[in-house]
Amino acid sequence: MFAERISNPALEKEPDAPPEKMLIRFALAEVVVLGSGLKSVERDLQKYELKFMKSADRRYAATFNTHIAAVTITITKENL
Protein backbone atom coordinates (compact mmCIF):
# COMPACT_ATOMS: atom_id res chain seq x y z
CA MET A 1 0.00 0.00 0.00
CA PHE A 2 1.14 3.53 -0.77
CA ALA A 3 -0.49 6.84 0.17
CA GLU A 4 0.33 10.35 -1.00
CA ARG A 5 -1.35 13.59 0.14
CA ILE A 6 -1.01 16.58 -2.18
CA SER A 7 -2.66 19.89 -2.96
CA ASN A 8 -5.61 19.36 -5.29
CA PRO A 9 -4.54 20.43 -8.82
CA ALA A 10 -8.18 21.20 -9.66
CA LEU A 11 -7.91 24.34 -7.46
CA GLU A 12 -6.18 26.14 -10.33
CA LYS A 13 -9.29 25.90 -12.50
CA GLU A 14 -12.01 25.65 -9.84
CA PRO A 15 -11.49 27.87 -6.77
CA ASP A 16 -14.34 26.04 -4.99
CA ALA A 17 -12.70 22.60 -5.40
CA PRO A 18 -11.64 20.60 -2.31
CA PRO A 19 -8.19 21.82 -1.20
CA GLU A 20 -6.50 18.44 -0.72
CA LYS A 21 -6.13 15.22 -2.69
CA MET A 22 -4.96 11.88 -1.31
CA LEU A 23 -4.03 8.94 -3.50
CA ILE A 24 -4.08 5.55 -1.78
CA ARG A 25 -2.72 2.78 -3.97
CA PHE A 26 -3.20 -0.91 -3.29
CA ALA A 27 -1.96 -3.80 -5.44
CA LEU A 28 -5.22 -4.02 -7.40
CA ALA A 29 -6.98 -0.72 -6.71
CA GLU A 30 -6.50 3.01 -6.33
CA VAL A 31 -8.51 5.21 -3.98
CA VAL A 32 -8.71 8.98 -4.50
CA VAL A 33 -9.96 11.09 -1.59
CA LEU A 34 -10.73 14.77 -2.13
CA GLY A 35 -11.42 17.04 0.83
CA SER A 36 -9.80 18.96 3.64
CA GLY A 37 -8.15 17.89 6.87
CA LEU A 38 -6.72 14.76 5.25
CA LYS A 39 -3.51 14.80 7.31
CA SER A 40 -5.25 12.90 10.12
CA VAL A 41 -6.44 10.28 7.59
CA GLU A 42 -2.85 9.94 6.37
CA ARG A 43 -1.62 9.57 9.96
CA ASP A 44 -4.25 6.91 10.79
CA LEU A 45 -3.31 4.98 7.63
CA GLN A 46 0.35 5.00 8.69
CA LYS A 47 -0.56 3.66 12.14
CA TYR A 48 -3.08 1.12 10.73
CA GLU A 49 -5.75 2.81 12.88
CA LEU A 50 -8.13 4.02 10.19
CA LYS A 51 -11.52 2.47 10.97
CA PHE A 52 -13.55 3.71 7.99
CA MET A 53 -14.04 6.55 5.51
CA LYS A 54 -17.29 7.63 3.93
CA SER A 55 -18.11 10.17 1.23
CA ALA A 56 -20.07 13.20 2.39
CA ASP A 57 -21.57 16.15 0.64
CA ARG A 58 -19.81 19.42 1.44
CA ARG A 59 -22.98 20.97 2.87
CA TYR A 60 -22.99 18.39 5.71
CA ALA A 61 -19.33 18.84 6.68
CA ALA A 62 -20.07 21.34 9.45
CA THR A 63 -22.34 18.86 11.27
CA PHE A 64 -19.67 16.17 11.66
CA ASN A 65 -17.85 15.74 14.97
CA THR A 66 -14.52 15.85 13.18
CA HIS A 67 -12.42 18.38 11.30
CA ILE A 68 -12.17 16.14 8.24
CA ALA A 69 -14.46 16.92 5.35
CA ALA A 70 -13.93 14.18 2.76
CA VAL A 71 -15.96 15.35 -0.18
CA THR A 72 -15.33 12.60 -2.73
CA ILE A 73 -13.96 9.05 -2.58
CA THR A 74 -13.28 7.22 -5.85
CA ILE A 75 -12.16 3.58 -6.10
CA THR A 76 -10.67 2.24 -9.32
CA LYS A 77 -10.01 -1.50 -9.65
CA GLU A 78 -7.37 -2.70 -12.05
CA ASN A 79 -8.07 -5.72 -14.22
CA LEU A 80 -5.50 -8.49 -14.40
Which DSSP category does 78 fall into?
P
Q: Which residue has the higher pLDDT, 5 or 2?
A: 5
Q: Residues of the chain with pLDDT > 70: what percent? A: 72
The number of folded domains in the chain is 1
Q: Output the pTM of the full model.
A: 0.70
DSSP structure string for 32-62: EEEEE-THHHHHHHHTT---------GGGGG
> For 25-62, how does the pLDDT look when each residue is reduced to its tens digit (9 = 90+)?
888 888 888 888 888 888 888 888 777 676 667 676 66
pLDDT score for 76 = 82
Inter-CA distances, 51 with 26, 41, 45, 47, 48, Å: 17, 10, 9, 11, 9
Domain that holds residue 63: 2-77
Q: Do residues 72 and 55 make contact, with C-beta atoms less than 8 angstroms apart?
A: yes
Q: What is the largest CA-CA distance in the chain?
A: 41
pLDDT score for 36 = 81
